[in-house]
Chain A
């Protein structure tokens, strides 16, 4: 991790010099922006639930009203539902899906990874081969295929997406259990009479929460896109659920008359995903920063 400055800060052009010196700021910057973005969207969602029309309220007299007209900040869709209110509710639905998926696959992945790393032997081989197989099957076609057979509600959708998300957590936890086993604090805990399971869950896992949170944040962004894609195809969440993907599908039908029905929920979705990506990247950058400091 020795970051030898080959080109010499002093000899480099001003831009590079600033970049290298200002790295700490640049790096923590994306975390700040990401969290601020997510926070703003949460506030937006809250305001929309107070001020905007109820997503369930249909009013054919004010169908396809443009943005800003007649009290509809972001316009209405073909059934006269307020886009502002819908987008606000959609943010909440998206975050619920993300929270559910991340919690579930995190729990699954960490358990599997720790078990594999602790037990070793054929259990480990089987689990890691399963992980390889899982990673080699593109998820979206499978999600689509599954929705032929089961009717989607929020919890089945969360389980479905979560089942495909455990692999990165499992790999991280397994690798960490394998390497941390050699460390001094683990030997100390062994001497103190702690069981291997206790060491893994009480001592090793808490040490990698930051790394896990990077995975969680990035996964949250991806699973939002999956949920929206499925709902857009009419296979994910349908009313009474308030999904951004569903509203975009509605907007596609009326794209010729009313651009706002598709554009606003899409932009919101994009901001949510960018928010999660930035947060994940930001935490990872902080980690890099930490390790290089730790090595000095």
Chain B
């Protein structure tokens, strides 16, 4: 797990602390991931051999394909293209959109805030709900509330988010006419997409939190806390939550990837002006620069958010930093 441990074993006797090594290792891994994502987006576009054929369609004569390939530089050696692609991506340049000639990076960055708004609100509300439900159900294991939540959560976890979106659309927009269904028109437009995105992840968050809280409650630490006269409630609130939080934070950060996948579909249902709709339209119009831009930007956002989560985990559990040093000695 610890990149730091492998790469920086020489410096273990210096005064650099384990925590710093851990952070450097994570940063290094983040850079690797981004490099992987950029490479992947390059490979995807070149999977068929010549991207010009994808852009222009298969019905055009070879001469026309060749002219386009020359114009866009797709006739150069593949390695040259790869290096120049990385160079351009490093400068946030994905080329111009085939659809309207504007820079693809501008399109992606323009749509990103709308997606982040959707993902952010759903994610935070899922975390808040999961904390409330998870903790209260552990406080009263076996009570009717705890028993009721389990099947409900298992159910929610399996329900496709885009199906929830369709049902909300049918009930709230078609039948009750409470909400409009098209695009972004202020806070009310967030309600349906956010509910659709939140419900499935609330379920998995709650189940994880409940599970790790119960694991903690079965550990020997609790025995000694109990011997000191703490009540179950105190143990759960002051010790259990803190202990369960490390697993919870890393899991919750990883689930952002799932959430990002979900928004791509949900956005097309609500004609939400985010990167999901952008990607969908780009795919429909075979707009390769925009497609590449979306894939790279999504990976970038994901890497940054996971880095932040790693820092939070490190802050919550300083043992992790010490373990990095411990690995080598």
Contact = CB atoms under 8 A, between A and B. Distances in A.
Nearest to B263: A140
A141 B267 CA distance: 13
A134 B257 CA distance: 12
Interface in B238-256: 254, 256
Which of A133, A149, A269, A278 has its CB near the most chain B CB atoms (within 10 A)? A149
Nearest to A229: B265
Nearest to A134: B36
B291 A233 contact: no
A270 B157 CA distance: 9
Contacts of A125: 6
Contacts of B299: 136-138
SS of A interface (majority)? helix
Indicate the size class of the contact surface on chain B. 35 or more
Contacts of A277: 154, 157-158
Contacts of B226: 6-7
Nearest to A5: B218
Contacts of A233: 264-265, 268, 280, 283
Contacts of B142: 13, 15-16, 18-19
B217 interface: yes
Nearest to A17: B142
B166 A262 contact: yes
Nearest to B55: A148
A14 to B, nearest CB: 8
A267 to B, nearest CB: 8
Interface of A: 2-4, 6-7, 13, 15-16, 18-19, 30, 125, 129, 132-142, 144-150, 221, 225-226, 228-229, 232-233, 235, 248, 251-252, 255-256, 259, 262-263, 266-267, 269-278, 281
Interface of B: 3, 6, 29, 32-33, 36-37, 40-41, 44-45, 47-48, 54, 140-144, 154-155, 157-160, 162-163, 166-167, 169-170, 174, 217-218, 220, 222-223, 226, 232, 254, 256-258, 260-262, 264-265, 268-269, 279-280, 282-283, 286, 288, 291-292, 294-295, 298-299, 302-303, 306
